[in-house]
Amino acid sequence: MVPETAPSDRPRRDVVSFVRRGTRLSRSRQEAWDRLADDFVLDVPRGERDTIPAPGARLDPREVFGRDRAGTVPLVVEIGSGQGENIAAAAAAHPERDHLAFEVYLPGIAQSLDRIERAGSPGNVRLVPLDALHSLPTLLPAGSIRELWIFFPDPWHKSRHHKRRLVNPPLLDAVLPLMAEDGVLRLATDWAEYAVHMRTVLDADPRLGSLHPGGPRPAGEPSDTVPEETPERGWAPRFEGRVLTSFERKALDAGRLVWDLAYEVRGSRPEPGYPDPEAPASGA
């Protein structure tokens, strides 16, 4: 038996909120990747695993998007962008903003590239093939994110898997120091139990305040079980900037409701710039 204190040269296995699926691409997706990846996928040096950046890796939005941010160009970050419906549409509709999407599923990134091209190849969007939770704290400078989007993350239904859920305190400790003074978190899920979990996590954090404290819960009776403790108020209306994806449509067809949340970042913000990797996490 190896003592617990024995050193190991194997990478530490952090809890992640995703399952790394196969990376084989269809012919059309491979063609999209070959044609567009150099323009839209950021090649960040990798660390001990291929889903996390190397120590010291940085993403300077000014360099990534090639424009002066002295005019406070807003940066929207989407975690888990799937097949890119939202990020491609948002970038095309809002040239005044920059858009950065994190997604670990390579076929989804390839599909996103195709959607970006069909949206006119806007120059204000980039894709990052990394695990956002373990990458964002070192990649982006403090105060750089105006909006953070998390739409339909994996609900991890089994109780023993709840620690894998993306929306948990470690995520807030990772991303809130990166949010601008007027930063906004937008979330959505089609599972009532996960929606209540999100509310519990977000409402308990003093760094956040609901943008819709009086907002009613979604109308209707869903096909999934609604926990008894589900709050009647505090829900956001459907975010008008979120397109109706095939994923959301399937959820609605299955009889589930979509629960939206929107929170603003409150309190003093860290000084702009890259966080010290040796410093303890904010809120820890």
Do 34 and 117 meet the contact criterion of CB atoms below 8 Å apart? Answer: no
**Half-sphere exposure for 120 (CA within 13 Å, toward CB):** 10
Q: Is 232 annotated as a binding residue?
A: no
Q: Is 228 annotated as a binding residue?
A: no
Residue 154 is a catalytic residue: yes
Q: Is 246 annotated as a binding residue?
A: yes
Rounded CA-CA distance 123/88 in Å is 11
Tell me the DSSP string of 93-155.
H-TTSEEEEE---HHHHHHHHHHHHHTT--TTEEEE-S-HHHHHHHHS-BT-EEEEEEES---
Catalytic residue among 154, 203, 205, 224: 154
Paired tokens of 266? 């409150």
Q: Is 103 annotated as a binding residue?
A: yes
Q: Is 190 annotated as a binding residue?
A: yes
Cα 279 to the chain's mean position, in Å? 23
Tell me the three state secondary structure of residue 200: helix
The Cβ of residue 17 has, within 10 Å, a number of other Cβ atoms equal to: 22
Strands 179-189 and 145-151: parallel
Rounded CA-CA distance 64/171 in Å is 24
According to DSSP, the residues that pair with 76 across neighbouring strands are 99, 147
Q: Is 248 annotated as a binding residue?
A: yes
Do 83 and 111 meet the contact criterion of CB atoms below 8 Å apart? Answer: yes
Q: Is 40 annotated as a binding residue?
A: no
Q: Is 78 annotated as a binding residue?
A: yes
**Residues comprising the binding site for S-adenosyl-L-methionine?**
78, 103, 131, 154
Q: Which residues are catalytic?
A: 154
List, as residue ranges, the binding site: 78, 103, 131, 154, 158, 190, 245-248
Binding residues for substrate: 158, 190, 245-248
